[in-house]
Structure 1
Amino acid sequence: MGDDQSKSQPPPPPPSPFFSEPWRKINWRDNQSALQYVKEYRPQNENQQLRILLHGPPGAGKSSFINSVQSVLHGRMYTQALVAHTFHGILTKKYTTYKIQKERSDTFYPFVFNDTMGLSEDKGVHVEDVKLALKGHVMEGYRFNPQSRLSEDDRFYNKSPTANDKVHVLVCVIDANKLSMKEEVLQKIKDIRKEASDLGIPQVVIFTKPDELSPEIKESLKNVYKVKILKKKLETFSADVGIPMNCIFPVKNYHEEIDIDSDVDSLILSALRNIINFGEPQLQTKC
């Protein structure tokens, strides 16, 4: 009879995909304070600008992040940086600085983004070019060459970079669904991170497309800090490259949307505010 009873027992329920509490708190209800913080940000020296350099594998969403930040600050969909629509598409070929215009047409926010060619095992940006960009040696319009680095006698080599030419925050953009990247690419990310660390440049990781990783996040972005699988992915990448968890931010870029979404804005503003906070001390040390 004991055997009959054991056979009649229902199977245990599957483990919950959620933590009992979010592992990171974020204010989903009020984007206005974060938006105001970004809009009112001013470096101590009015002639300074915070330079944010983006790098990462092709198709991860570097250009989309730039466009998404501009969309949030403008309150409408905005497209300035060209976006590759397939994973293999690499549209960013030149070193380009993106300024974000304020409400007045003659004023800009005191931070700029630099996009780079994607990191891949053979055709991507040369690691040494990213290192040179960190130091401010790469000039606007330089066309990346995967086979060779920028030489000192090239017309796009900046021999005397100013504090504004140098990078103040390095941002690695990673597709949350493609963490099983080739070892060569992972090693390039580590090499760039080491150079930034040697230069005292803070580093941030943006994890894009979390909604494609988990149906629970796709259902509601508010689940992003509740879902176990995403945190596991972040912890794995943190351990692999040595970037602490409090410098890693999941973000959904604007892609198919035609209207602004409050939850999308919340994640973008959270990442952007921390990028500014991490970079501000660098402006003082590089004066």
Structure 2
Amino acid sequence: MESSKSKSAPVYTSTTYTPPPNPELDKPLTGKFNWDQKEALKKKLEDFTLGNPDVKKINILVAGQIGAGKSSFINSIDSAFQGRICCRALVNPSAGGRSFTENLKGFTIRSGKKSLPFVFKDTMGLEADQLAGSQIEDIISAVLGHVKDGYEFKEKRTIYFKDEHFNMNPTLSDQASCLVYVVAADTVQFTDDKLVVKLKCIRERISAEGIPQVVIMTKVDEACPLVKQDLRNIYTSKKIYEKMNLCSAKIGVPLTDIFPVKNYHEEIDTEDDIDFLLLKALEQIVQIAKMKWK
């Protein structure tokens, strides 16, 4: 016998489905990007000439926030040329929020046994606190060639002319041809205005001397799942584009001089796509630096 209570039919409501926003740009930032030209790019850098008899090498001073990957970037460039993971610039991922690099040290880039005319100068990391990390004046003095390799960065005072590592009369080959700021994409919010002030102060002083500056944006895979899935999405990722725009607005470096890369971190072998991005960034850096000496 059927129940006197009739079962009510389910009620369906009409809803409009809104698809999630597309995480990719309509077109890549760089236009056509040939990922298969790593060897040609490497050869181009190996054959690079300075074009000025008074300049023996291109010094590239590397500065930036603690933990952004300054030393790892130098090691990654080295690895791209050597075809194996290199760790000449010491890093310490468990440094506890303090800079592991304490002394100014230059690293000549080699390809096989050939020394290339590119020297990366590693510095102590910048911190927001005024007296913590490397000091603004030390970074500026190093860019201008007044600081010799081996100088120990000090948190509460800067180099002065009686210091054994002070270079009173720097030559063109002592000066930095380019200043590279290394910024981590996953922490590029710049919530601390004190760090921004430091970066802007350095930028203004160096710009007055005609020294070109670029930004290397690291840890792109940690900032964007799309890039983590496939590094080739780096120039179509809206998230990376937003990070680059924020970096440009905060520091004042043009978008065209911001280069997103992935450093070698956990890999045990080199990879072509990682190498290509690193070499492409270096190509842009040395071309910009070369213009200074023309």
Q: 2:13, 2:236 → 1: CA distance?
A: 35
Does residue 13 of structure 2 align to residue 7 of structure 1?
yes
- Whether the 8 Å CA contact 2:221–2:231 is kept in 1: the answer is yes
The alignment's C-alpha RMSD in Å is: 1.7
Paired residue total: 279
What SS does the corresponding residue of 2:186 show, helix, strand or coil?
Answer: coil
Shift of 1:124: 0.7
Q: Which residue of 2 aligns with 1:180?
A: 189
C-alpha separation in 2, matches of 1:260 and 1:69 = 11
CA deviation vs aligned residue, 1:29-79 (integer Å, no higher than 9, x gap): 221111111111121246610000000001101100100001001111111
The equivalent position to 2:267 in structure 1, one of 257, 261, 266, is 257
Mapped contact 2:81–2:110 kept (Cα < 8 A): no
Q: For residue 116 of structure 1, what is the aligned residue in structure 2?
A: 123
**Which stretch shifts more, 245-254 or 41-50?**
41-50
Query: What TM-score do the two structures reach when normalised by structure 2?
Result: 0.91
Q: Secondary structure at the match of 1:7?
A: coil
Map 1:131-210 → 2, pairs under 5 A: 131-181=140-190, 182-210=192-220
Aligned residues of 2:185 and 2:217 also touching (Cα < 8 A): yes
- 1:233 counterpart (222, 238, 243): 243
Q: How many Å separate the matches in 2 of 1:270 and 1:99? A: 18
2:48 is aligned with 1:41: yes
Q: Secondary structure at the match of 2:117?
A: strand
Structure 2: unaligned runs, 5 residues or longer:
1-10
Following TM superposition, by how much is the alpha carbon of 1:236 offset from its aligned partner in structure 2, in angstroms?
1.2
Q: Could you state the TM-score of these two structures normalised by the residue count of structure 1?
A: 0.93
Q: Distance in 2 between matches of 1:281 and 1:224?
A: 27
Residue identity opposite 1:110 in structure 2: P
State the 1:10 CA deviation. Answer: 4.1
Where 1:52 maps in the other structure, the secondary structure is strand
Q: Which residue of 1 aligns with 2:24?
A: 18
Aligned pair in 2 of structure 1 residues 149, 79: CA closer, same or farther (>3 Å)? same
* Cα displacement string for residues 258-283 of structure 1 (whole angstroms, at most 9, x for unaligned residues): 11111101110110000010001223
Q: Tell me which moved more, 118-127 or 81-90.
A: 81-90
Matched, 1:213 2:223: yes
Superposed CA offset, 1:173-216 (max 9, x none): 00001113311111111111111110101111000000001111
How high is the sequence identity, in percent, across the aligned residues? 38
Deviation digits for residues 68-115 of structure 1, max 9, x if unmatched? 0010011111110011214614111001111123433xx411110001
- SS in structure 1 at match of 2:77: helix
Q: Is the 8 A contact 2:81 2:112 kept in 1?
A: no
Greater Cα radius of gyration, structure 1 or 2: 2
Is 2:179–2:213's contact at 8 Å kept on the other side of the alignment? Answer: yes
Consecutive unaligned residues of structure 1, counting only runs of 5 or more, are none
